[in-house]
A and B are shown apart, each in its own frame.
Chain A
Amino acid sequence: MAERDRIAVQTAAFDVGAETARLAALDRGIGAIASFVGLMRDQNNGDAVQAMTLEHYPGMTESALADIVAEAHGRWALMGTTVIHRVGPLHPGDPIVLVLTASAHRGEAFAACEFIMDYLKTRAPFWKHETTASGGRWVEARDSDDNAAARWNR
């Protein structure tokens, strides 16, 4: 089904309303759209963060996201998904990532949305470099993200 799933890696901001409307128009059987928006915070590990640059692995990023969405389709009856992840320079308050999941009822949409984010955090090749008052540093991976993704193993 063409256009059922939309995956984008881009520097530009995204429009949550327009993206939600696109999904809603796919199928009148859609009764639920769950959404997650990740925002850049102005602090991390106790330090004020002034700016961030997101690096990724072009090619692998898109295929990793497609694999995650395909796995979500295998687990839940989804009628459409959207995953948009920004790269390049970002500032506190900027939206970083959008995940939308559409299904007939809320349960599957909620679960799939959380699943896609948990897998994205641990499997999609993005890296955050942040600028603090004492200079630049690469953000370290968190065990809590691995634990969140591991909840979905079965």
Chain B
Amino acid sequence: MLNPAALNLLYFARLREAFGRDRETVVMPEPATVDGLLATLQGRGGVWADELSAGRNFRVAVNQTVSGRDQPLRAGDEVAIFPPVTGG
């Protein structure tokens, strides 16, 4: 089955500013993964390609849990992309 998966993306802090948005919906063909989503976003070029390139330090959380790049994504998942945390 190759149903498209609509993902709810969130961006925080420096990445929210760099991307000029705090959220958006992105539709990916299933089966989707974090890696596939990142490749799609990098494909936009410009700041997306720069900020999400392999050498940059950022985290991805799926449904509010920090996840690895091979994490599968399903329709309706909340996917947050953010810089390393600096609270406390």
Contact = CB atoms under 8 A, between A and B. Distances in A.
A125 B14 CA distance: 13
Interface residues of B, number: 18
The secondary structure that dominates the A interface is mixed
Nearest to B66: A123
B83 to A, nearest CB: 7
B86 A59 contact: no
B12 interface: yes
Interface string B4-30: 000000101110010000000000000
Given A57-B64, A57-B80, A57-B82, A127 B88 contact: no
Contacts of B82: 57, 125, 127
Given A57-B10, A60-B64, A138-B14, A128 B80 contact: no
A141 B12 contact: no
Nearest to A56: B87
Contact of B86 (A63, A97, A140): A140
A128 B84 contact: no
A63 B64 contact: yes
Interface residues of A, number: 28
B54 interface: no
A140 B57 CA distance: 11
A90 to B, nearest CB: 12
Given A57-B82, A138-B13, A138-B14, A127 B87 contact: yes
Interface of A: 38, 54-57, 59-60, 63-64, 85, 96-97, 117, 120-129, 138-141, 145
16 contacts: A38-B88, A57-B10, A57-B12, A64-B64, A85-B87, A121-B85, A124-B88, A125-B80, A126-B86, A126-B87, A127-B82, A128-B87, A138-B17, A139-B86, A141-B83, A145-B88
Interface of B: 10, 12-14, 17, 57, 61, 64-66, 80, 82-88
